[in-house]
Amino acid sequence: MHLYEEIDDSLRAFILAQPVFFVASAPLDPQGHVNVSPKGIAGSLVVLGPHRVAYLDYGGSGAETTAHLLENGRVTLMFAAFHGAPNIVRLYGTGRSVFAGDPDFDELRAQFPVQHNRLRAIIDVAVDRVADSCGKGVPVMAFQHHRDQLTATWAHKETDAASAYWAAKNPVSIDGLPAMPQVPEPVAT
C-alpha cells in the first residue's frame, strides 16, 4: 500500500478511466448495515481538486449512502483496474449530499460533463486519505459499454412521479435512519 498526499494528475487519470467505482458507508450503530454501492454512469464522477471529488446520485431503490452521510459523513470510494496494470485506489473522506434546494447545487452540478433529468442529489466528498494497493487479485475483464437504463427510466418520469417514488422508497435507510428530504427536482440545462 502506498499513501498519497493528494489526488495528483496520475491518480486523477486512473480514477476517471475506470468505468465503475464503489461507494462504501456505514451507520454509527454497530448493529447497522454496512453499505457498498456500485456506480458507473459515464461522466457521473468528477475530481474537483487534490482533496475533493463528487458524483451524481440518481434515484434508486435505497438511499443508504445519503442516510449514512447525514448521520456521520464517513465514506470511502474505491476504484479497481479491471484491465491493464493491476491497481486499486481508495479515497477516504467525509461526504455530504447536496440536494436541488441547496445553495451550491447549481454550481456543483455545472462541474459535470453530463446533465440528466431526475437527479436525486450530488455526493460531495472531502478526501482526507488517498491510498492504493496492488490489485493483483482483481480479475481482468473487458468493458463493453455503460448501461443507460437508470437514466432513461428517470428521464421519462414526471416530476411528481419521481417525488412520489423517492417519498415511498427513500425516506429512511434499511436501519431506519432519515435519508431523503423533500426537495424540488432540478431541471436539466
The average pLDDT across 34-61 equals 92
The average pLDDT across 34-38 equals 96
- Per residue in 104-119, pLDDT (tens digit) is 999 999 999 987 767 8
- The reply to whether 186 falls in a domain is no
Per 3-state DSSP, the chain is made up of helix, strand and coil in percentages (nearest 5) of 20, 30, 45
Lowest mean per-residue pLDDT among 5-14, 89-98, 131-140: 131-140
Q: How many CB atoms lie within 10 A of CB 53?
A: 23
- The reply to whether 53 falls in a domain is yes
The average pLDDT across 80-97 equals 96
Residues 133 and 2: their CA atoms lie apart, in Å, by 7
Contact yes or no for 74/64 (Cβ under 8 A): no
Element (H or E) spanning 184, and its range?
A: none
- Identify the domain containing residue 159 by its residue range: 2-169
pLDDT > 60? residue 182: no
Q: What is the pLDDT of residue 147?
A: 80
How many separate domains does the chain show? 1
For residue 128, which of 2, 4, 10, 1 has the smallest C-alpha distance?
4
Quick one: pLDDT band at residue 36, thresholds 50, 70, 90? very high
Contact yes or no for 60/119 (Cβ under 8 A): no
Q: What is the pLDDT of residue 104?
A: 95
Q: Which residues contact 145 (CB under 8 A, 6 or more apart)?
A: none
CATH for 73: 2.30.110.10
The overall average pLDDT reported for the chain is 89
- The reply to whether 188 falls in a domain is no
